[in-house]
């Protein structure tokens, strides 16, 4: 990959002297920062922008590390072949006109795939904006040269984007607003060869990148992608386009990308410690915040001190904390004491800390510095949200000492800044230079704080785990069935397999007579449930094939006789202990096209079905990961012992989920599995109904 990022020589195929053409922009942009050898290629010209121009690739005298191709799509395959012949290791194809334009383009793209396979040349693109490196002033892109009016501000965040706009126009937007610098911006387009996963791997190693922000419409190699994320010491934020049905359809036509089920993607990212965002600037703000406070596990409780000049803004900030899973810190006595000394006597000290009267009395320097130093030393404070104002003047006090103290105490600090356009802009840059992310909206400040805390929580609660898959040995006949069977296994058989895999299932027995039924019931204890397992009947209750609350032998006998009349000879009748418990859970197995075997878990009943409150775990995973993800259910309160019920043994349920993952990994014949419900009795989840679907 290094040849893409640090080539000693670059050929520009499709170079042009016409300033309105992309082939001109590429050359122009190279000349601004790139110091290696540049070979324009175009048979029509001898010189372009004072550089010798070559009629063809084979005419280039020296070795070439990288070719940037910007010619009509139809010519691209032969050009790339020529590059391969010349021994150029990598090509960035920036031309559009491939899979995103229909069948003809798709065929051209397929040719590129073939060339990669047969020649070993690496292709970046097509249909992309290439590569920008703001640290080196490299712009390997047809990006409009007006970007140089604003300059490339070097920073620590690198971006990988599956959208030309983000790497192009948006870059100009960011740079001109001076809100943040970047390290690298990589536009990957149709990713016929080089993809987000490979670039992620590169950036994780890149010493000039401290956090990574990605806009993705699809994830090509999902499992590898998540493995990289989960092992990355650098925080990663992802904006996934195509979450909605309409968005997914649009993504398919935009970069010919297939967006997976977003509920699975969301869970996969969470499990891997990635912060998910929803908007473009939010991606930048969050990435920048994460780069400033990566892996802030010390702040993972999120107890925040709000230091403000405005009571109203303090109140609204407190509301945002709660809405984002953070909390108002209870200030220690020492902090209260320190603040009392600068506060007027009538003013009670509380968090949010309204500094205005103290500013009026002591000036901004003393008021803010006293407060910041106090919370820096306060064991009850994990992080700080600072409200600042520079209207009609830039910030007229020096915060360096206090900010340094907070940095030393490893307390993330964030600023919300109000003020007039120019002074606020100046203050923003001064404060950010001191290592404090500055946001102009409270909502966005809350987004960034939440991201830093969530990353810190993940690092401290989950961390860089790489659990192994344990093979689950099943009895031969079961293994054989899972290997060769087809279709859906009945409830009884499914639960027998679960039981062999170490998953607690309800006591039940298949019975052939009322006599057998009564014996079974006696051994389990009443009440019992009687079920008729008819093949192809999924909704047994609706078909009268479930009789619950059977409390006595006569009731059971009567129910058996009736059930025997309803079902066919080959079908099974099962007597089942009736498990009493008000909490129901569900779990299942899916094979996701992007991530492979995933275990789904959620609350039973309406919560999952109506509110879609469920999580997915990419297998294999361990109990720690399962517990973490169960903690992300909106309805997790139920698991903690709702309505005086005994709380769920979460570790036990986590073990069950781990085993379901192992089972599916051990037996690829298992296509799907649903356990619905697990009933929680005395804190233990017991599988009461289940089915396994084979290929």
Residue in the block written with tokens 């324009």: 40
- Least CB distance to a second copy at residue 578 (A): 11
Least gap, CB of 144 to a second copy (angstroms): 6
CA contacts within 13 A on the Cβ side of 497: 30
Q: Indicate whether 362 belongs to the interface with a second copy (CB under 8 A).
A: no
Helix-then-strand count for the chain, H and E: 24, 30
Q: Is 551 left (phi over 0), alpha (psi -120 to 50) or beta?
A: alpha
The interface with a second copy within residues 433-452 (CB under 8 A) comprises 440-443
Beta bridge partners of 419: 390
Q: Is residue 45 within the footprint of a second copy (CB under 8 A)? A: no
161 binds a second copy (CB under 8 A): yes
Span 130-159, contacts to a second copy by CB under 8 A: 144, 146-147, 149-150
CB of 280 to a second copy, least distance (A): 7
Q: Rounded to whole angstroms, how far apart are CA atoms 149 and 131?
A: 19
Burial class (CB within 10 angstroms; exposed 0-12, middle 13-18, buried 19+) of 108: buried
Segment 84 to 113, residues that bind a second copy, using CB under 8 A: 97, 100-102, 104-105
Tokens representing residue 573 in the block: 């009748």
Stretch that binds a second copy, among 11-19, 176-184, 224-232, 646-654 (CB under 8 A): 176-184
Nearer to a second copy, 334 or 611 (CB): 611
241 in contact with a second copy (CB under 8 A): yes
The residue among 279 and 562 lying less far from a second copy, judged by its C-beta, is: 279
The size of the interface with a second copy (CB under 8 A), counted in residues, is 100
Q: Is 380 in the site for a second copy (CB under 8 A)?
A: no
* Residue 42 tokens, joined: 């175009």
Half-sphere exposure of 35 (CA within 13 A, CB side): 2
Q: Is 320 or 560 the residue whose CB approaches a second copy more closely?
A: 320
- Rounded to a whole number of angstroms, the minimum distance from the CB of residue 145 to a second copy is 8
Our CB check for a second copy shows the closer of 185 and 313 to be: 313
Closest approach of a second copy to the CB of residue 539, in Å = 8
By the 8 A CB rule, do 447 and 290 touch? no
CB 227 within 8 A of CB 274: no
Q: Which is nearer to a second copy, 64 or 586 (CB)?
A: 586
Note whether 215 binds a second copy by CB under 8 A.
yes
Query: Which listed residue (8, 117, 549, 566) binds a second copy by CB under 8 A?
Result: 549
Give the contacts of 657 (CB within 8 A, at least 6 positions apart).
Answer: 587, 599, 601, 617, 621, 626
Q: Residue 111's Cα: distance from chain center in Å?
A: 33
Q: Which of 43, 61, 120, 348 binds a second copy (CB under 8 A)?
A: 348
* Site string (277-316) toward a second copy, x via CB under 8 A: -xxxxx--------------------------xxxxxxxx
Burial tier of 37 (Cβ tally within 10 Å: 0-12, 13-18, 19+): middle
- Applying CB under 8 A, the span of 61-69, 238-246, 267-275, 362-370 interacting with a second copy comes to 238-246
User: What is the C-alpha to C-alpha distance for residues 265 and 271, in angstroms, rounded to an integer?
Assistant: 10
- Closest CB to a second copy among residues 466, 536: 536
With binding defined as CB under 8 A, does residue 28 bind a second copy? no
Told to check if 170 binds a second copy by CB under 8 A, we report yes
Residues in 468-527 at the binding interface with a second copy, rule: CB under 8 A:
none
Question: Shortest gap between Cβ of 194 and a second copy (angstroms)?
Answer: 18
The structure tokens listed for 680 are: 């929680």
- Please list, in sequence order, all residues whose beta carbon lies within 8 angstroms of the beta carbon of residue 468, skipping any fewer than 6 positions away: 620
Query: Which of 132, 251, 520, 664 forms a contact with a second copy (CB under 8 A)?
Result: 251
Least Å from the CB of residue 645 to a second copy:
11
Structure tokens at 297: 């596990």
Binding flag, residue 644, a second copy (CB under 8 A): yes
Judge whether 262 and 191 are in contact, CB under 8 Å. no
- x-or-dash string of contact with a second copy, 51-80, rule CB under 8 A: ------------------------------
Stretch that binds a second copy, among 206-214, 415-423, 464-472, 499-507 (CB under 8 A): 415-423
401 counts as binding a second copy under rule CB under 8 A: no
Residue carrying the six token digits 């300033």: 19
Neighbours of 162 (CB within 10 A): 29
Annotate 64-76 with b (16+ C-beta within 10 A) or e (fewer): bbbbbbbbebeeb
Positions 314 through 343 that interact with a second copy (CB under 8 A): 314-316, 318-323, 327-328
177 binds a second copy (CB under 8 A): yes
Q: Do the beta carbons of residue 536 and residue 543 sit within 8 Å?
A: no
Contact between 590 and a second copy per CB under 8 A: no
Q: Is 422 in the site for a second copy (CB under 8 A)?
A: yes
Of 356, 323, 326, nearest to 342 (Cα)?
356
d(CA 407, CA 434): 10
E strand map for 371-472: 383-390, 413-419, 438-439
Smallest CA-to-CA distance from 83 within 112, 57, 62, 65 is with: 57
Please pick, from the candidates 57, 230, 556, 603, the single residue that binds a second copy as defined by CB under 8 A: 603
Q: Where are the alpha helices (DSSP H) in 324-416?
A: 333-342, 356-376, 400-408
328: β partners: 304
User: Closer to a second copy at the Cβ: 3 or 440?
Assistant: 440
Nearest distance from C-beta of residue 628 to a second copy, angstroms: 20
Q: Does the protein bind a second copy through residue 553 (CB under 8 A)?
A: no
Residue 43 sits in the site that holds a second copy (CB under 8 A): no
Closest CA to 120 of 148, 93, 143, 91: 91
Q: What is the contact mask toward a second copy in residues 609 to 638, using x (rule: CB under 8 A)?
A: xxx----------------------xx-xx
Beta carbon of residue 665, minimum distance to a second copy (angstroms, whole number): 32
Q: 547 or 662: whose CB is closer to a second copy?
A: 547
From 57-65, 349-357, 662-670, 682-690, give the range in contact with a second copy by CB under 8 A: 349-357
CA distance 285 to 278: 12
Give dist(CA 256, CA 102) in Å, integer: 9
Asked if 368 and 358 touch (Cβ cutoff 8 Å), the reply is: no
Tokens of 458: 């993940």
CB of residue 156 vs a second copy: minimum separation in angstroms?
A: 22
């Amino acid at each position: 990959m290094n040849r893409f990022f640090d080539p000693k020589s670059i050929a520009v195929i499709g170079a042009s002297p016409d300033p309105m053409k992309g082939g001109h922009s590429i050359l122009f942009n190279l000349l601004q920062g790139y110091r290696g050898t540049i070979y324009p290629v175009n048979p029509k010209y001898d010189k372009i922008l004072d550089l010798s121009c070559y009629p063809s690739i084979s005419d280039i005298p020296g070795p070439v590390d990288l070719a940037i191709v910007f010619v009509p799509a139809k010519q691209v395959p032969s050009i790339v072949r020529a590059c391969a012949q010349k021994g150029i290791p990598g090509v960035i194809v920036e031309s559009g006109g491939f899979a995103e334009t229909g069948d003809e383009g798709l065929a051209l793209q397929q040719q590129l795939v073939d060339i990669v396979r047969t020649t070993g040349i690496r292709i970046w693109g097509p249909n992309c904006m290439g590569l920008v490196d703001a640290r080196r002033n490299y712009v390997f892109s047809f990006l409009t040269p007006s970007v140089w009016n604003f300059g490339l501000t070097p920073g620590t965040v690198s971006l990988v984007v599956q959208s030309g706009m983000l790497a192009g126009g948006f870059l100009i937007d960011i740079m001109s607003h001076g809100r943040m610098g970047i390290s690298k911006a990589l536009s990957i387009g149709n990713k016929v060869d080089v993809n987000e996963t490979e670039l992620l791997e590169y950036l994780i190693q890149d010493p000039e990148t401290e956090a990574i922000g990605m806009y993705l419409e699809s994830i090509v190699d999902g499992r590898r992608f998540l493995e990289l994320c989960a092992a990355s010491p650098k925080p990663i934020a992802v904006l996934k386009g195509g979450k909605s049905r309409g968005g997914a359809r649009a993504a398919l036509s935009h970069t010919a990308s297939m967006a997976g089920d977003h509920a699975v993607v969301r869970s996969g990212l969470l499990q891997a410690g990635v912060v998910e965002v929803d908007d473009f600037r939010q991606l930048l703000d969050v990435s920048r915040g994460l780069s400033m406070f990566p892996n802030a596990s010390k702040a993972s409780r999120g107890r925040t001190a709000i230091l403000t000049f405005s009571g109203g803004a303090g109140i609204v900030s407190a509301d945002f904390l709660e809405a984002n899973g953070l909390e108002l810190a209870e200030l220690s006595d020492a902090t209260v004491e320190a603040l009392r000394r600068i506060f007027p006597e009538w003013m009670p000290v509380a968090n949010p800390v309204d500094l205005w009267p103290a500013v009026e009395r002591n000036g901004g320097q003393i008021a803010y510095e006293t407060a910041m130093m106090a919370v820096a030393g306060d064991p009850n404070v994990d992080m700080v949200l600072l409200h600042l104002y520079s209207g009609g003047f830039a910030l007229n006090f020096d915060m360096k000492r206090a900010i340094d103290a907070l940095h030393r105490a490893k307390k993330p600090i964030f600023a919300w800044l109000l003020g007039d356009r120019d002074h606020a802009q100046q203050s923003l840059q001064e404060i950010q230079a001191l290592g404090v992310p500055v946001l102009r909206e409270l909502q966005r400040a809350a987004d960034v704080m939440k991201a830093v805390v969530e990353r810190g929580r993940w690092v401290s609660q989950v961390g860089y785990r790489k659990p192994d898959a344990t093979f689950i040995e099943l009895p031969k006949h079961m293994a054989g069935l899972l290997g060769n069977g087809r279709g859906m296994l009945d409830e009884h058989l499914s639960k027998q397999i679960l039981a062999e895999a170490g998953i607690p299932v309800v006591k039940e027995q298949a019975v052939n007579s009322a006599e057998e039924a009564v014996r079974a019931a006696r051994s389990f204890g009443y009440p019992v449930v009687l079920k008729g397992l008819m093949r192809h009947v999924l909704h047994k209750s609706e078909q009268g094939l479930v009789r619950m609350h059977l409390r006595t032998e006569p009731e059971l006998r009567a129910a058996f006789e009736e059930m025997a009349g309803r079902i066919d000879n080959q079908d099974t009748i099962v007597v089942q202990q009736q498990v009493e418990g008000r909490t129901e859970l569900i779990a299942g197995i899916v094979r996701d096209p992007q991530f492979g075997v995933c275990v789904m878990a959620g609350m039973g009943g309406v919560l999952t079905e109506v509110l879609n409150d469920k999580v997915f775990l990419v297998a294999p995973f361990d109990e720690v990961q399962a517990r973490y993800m169960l903690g992300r259910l909106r309805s997790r309160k139920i698991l903690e012992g709702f309505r005086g019920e005994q709380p769920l043994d979460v570790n036990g349920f986590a073990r069950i989920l781990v085993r379901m993952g192992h089972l599916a990994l051990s037996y690829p014949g298992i296509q799907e599995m649903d356990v619905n419900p697990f009933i929680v009795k005395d804190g233990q989840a017991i599988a009461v109904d289940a089915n396994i679907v084979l290929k």
